[in-house]
Structure 1
Amino acid sequence: MTGKGYVVVGGSAGMGLAAARALAREGASVVVVGRDADRAETAAQQVAEAGAVSAHGLSYDVSRPGQAVAAVDEAARILGRLDGIAITMGTAGMMPIDSDDDAWDTAFHDVLLATTRSVQAALPHLTATKGAIVTTAAYSVRAPHEPRLPYASLKAAVATFTRGIARTHGHAGIRANSVAPGAVETDALHAIRGYVAESKGYPYEEALERALVEDFGFDAALARPGQPDEIGALIAFLLSDVCAFVTGQTIFADGGAP
């Protein structure tokens, strides 16, 4: 990926930051976009340390009108080109279906519109480079259940939207795929590991795994949560030319969940 430039929306933490680091290790130039300016700058420093030719952090909230265009245009200007975009944000909507309209509206903007706006902003730049798009769906689109049905429904829309982009823009050489992670030990799950170890007296290294099985009915074949770097590597793989004939797919990275 040397000589190529990528933007990771939601790249200041978790799977997005892991994806940015994976791109950096392949010699890419990377711009990470996050809502918090300090976190975005800290993430950019980590990406630079991972080997990026150049790394920059930008502060935008792409769930708000106009912010995605501003973020992507500035990233493309900094990079001098745009070969790919990954959108890894969108965690709202883990709520019951009888949540009020304001909560639904927040989830709609955070999960779906943040993605559609970012993709739309990137398309003119990607047409010039025959670039790639990776969005983030979720394992729960395949196994939705009531406590997070709004989230799963909106993530399913992300997957459908992504396949539609692949179909309608493939003639321009643009590829679009979606990653659907299962349980991944980002900051929220990592905090549960420590809490469960302390409250239940489990060994720290197996506390999260036991809690997932005993409290949430976790039944993945690998019997463990994924790690952000594992998902980040997959995102970078899908953005790369190694996947030049892969488009319109939703790739489940769930450790063999049923």
Structure 2
Amino acid sequence: MDLQLAGKAALVTGGTKGIGRAVVEALLAEGAKVAFCARNAAEVEAAAAELGATGTALDVADGAALAAWVADTAERFGGIDVAVANVSALAIGAGEDNWKASFEVDLMHTVRLCEAALPHLTATRGSIVAISSVSGREIDFAKDAYGTMKAAVVHYVSGLAFEHAAAGVRANCVSPGNTYFPGGVWAGIEGGDPDLFATAMGLNPTGRMATAEEIAYAVMMLASPRASFITGTNLVVDGALTRGVQL
């Protein structure tokens, strides 16, 4: 099925690894023009060369830098059709530093990206997709700063969907379950805390964790103009990991 993304201009935060990189790759494969950002300059340079996308090194917690990146990209591409808020601080735990990092990166980077992109998305009747987490809808080991801010992301994006529906801008979330990729949080837990890793694997009824590419597929479906009447939703992609019923 043609996702009608060819020629569209897309922004992706955190595009050098994991879900973000998989989203960049998927968008490029559909013929979209893609700009991504990440904090590590060397990784950005390497990924940009490998992927053939436009990469920029910046800290998404820097609101001015993030807004400038959005504006520069819109000028370069002649507009913006898709904005994907992917970056997370992955600050798991209850310490005050984790709360601050989760607020500035997970929540406020999403807010700032959307605020900067919305004028351009309104002009193109574009789409926002934010990456939340199943930790935002249930009490698990990441229930504190990480889970709370991921829940806030869903609430914020749902509000955007309602506010901007009449203008034709769609806004949705994807909430992944356990997602395994080299260099990711679960790869680190596998080596550093094998008991926790084994427990997490045991909770997955599929017997495995998701791949980054599987989460990227969900992002693509929501970003596509074919999803023209899907807005304000939180798409859980967890292989039946969570047992809660969304009503």
TM-score relative to the length of structure 1: 0.85
- Equivalent position amino acid for 1:45 in 2: A
Give the Cα–Cα distance (whole angstroms) in 2 for the partners of residues 85 and 47 of structure 1: 18
RMSD (Å) for aligned C-alpha atoms: 2.0
- Structure-1 residue corresponding to 2:80: 82
Structure 2 stretches lacking a partner, 5+ long:
none
Give the Cα–Cα distance (whole angstroms) in 2 for the partners of residues 45 and 28 of structure 1: 17
Give the Cα–Cα distance (whole angstroms) in 1 for the partners of residues 142 and 213 of structure 2: 27
Q: Does 1:224 align with 2:208?
A: yes
TM-score relative to the length of structure 2: 0.88
Residue 43 (structure 1) shift: 1.9
Classify 1:2/1:217 alpha carbon distance in 2 versus 1 (closer, same or farther; 3 Å).
closer
Does the residue aligned with 1:171 lie in a helix, a strand or coil?
coil
* Residues 92 and 110 in structure 1, CA contact (< 8 A), matched pair in contact too: no
Classify 1:211/1:106 alpha carbon distance in 2 versus 1 (closer, same or farther; 3 Å).
closer
- Equivalent position amino acid for 2:81 in 1: D
* Residues 4 and 83 in structure 1, CA contact (< 8 A), matched pair in contact too: yes
Give the Cα–Cα distance (whole angstroms) in 2 for the partners of residues 228 and 106 of structure 1: 23
Residue 217 (structure 1) shift: 6.7
Does the residue aligned with 1:144 lie in a helix, a strand or coil?
coil
Q: 1:24 aligns with which of 21, 28, 33?
A: 28
Which structure is higher in helix share?
A: 1
Q: 1:168 aligns with which of 156, 160, 163?
A: 163
Q: Does 1:124 align with 2:119?
A: yes
Q: Percent identity?
A: 32
* Residues 177 and 238 in structure 1, CA contact (< 8 A), matched pair in contact too: yes
Residue 47 (structure 1) shift: 2.6
| Rg comparison, structure with higher value | 1
Give the Cα–Cα distance (whole angstroms) in 1 for the partners of residues 142 and 166 of structure 2: 40
Structure 1 stretches lacking a partner, 5+ long:
49-54, 200-207
* Residues 88 and 135 in structure 1, CA contact (< 8 A), matched pair in contact too: yes
Residue 215 (structure 1) shift: 3.1
Cα shift readout 1:157-210 (whole Å, capped 9, x = no counterpart): 0000000000001111000000000100132323455x38xx9xxxxxxxx8x9
- Structure-2 residue corresponding to 1:60: 58
Cα shift readout 1:124-149 (whole Å, capped 9, x = no counterpart): 11011000000011011221236542
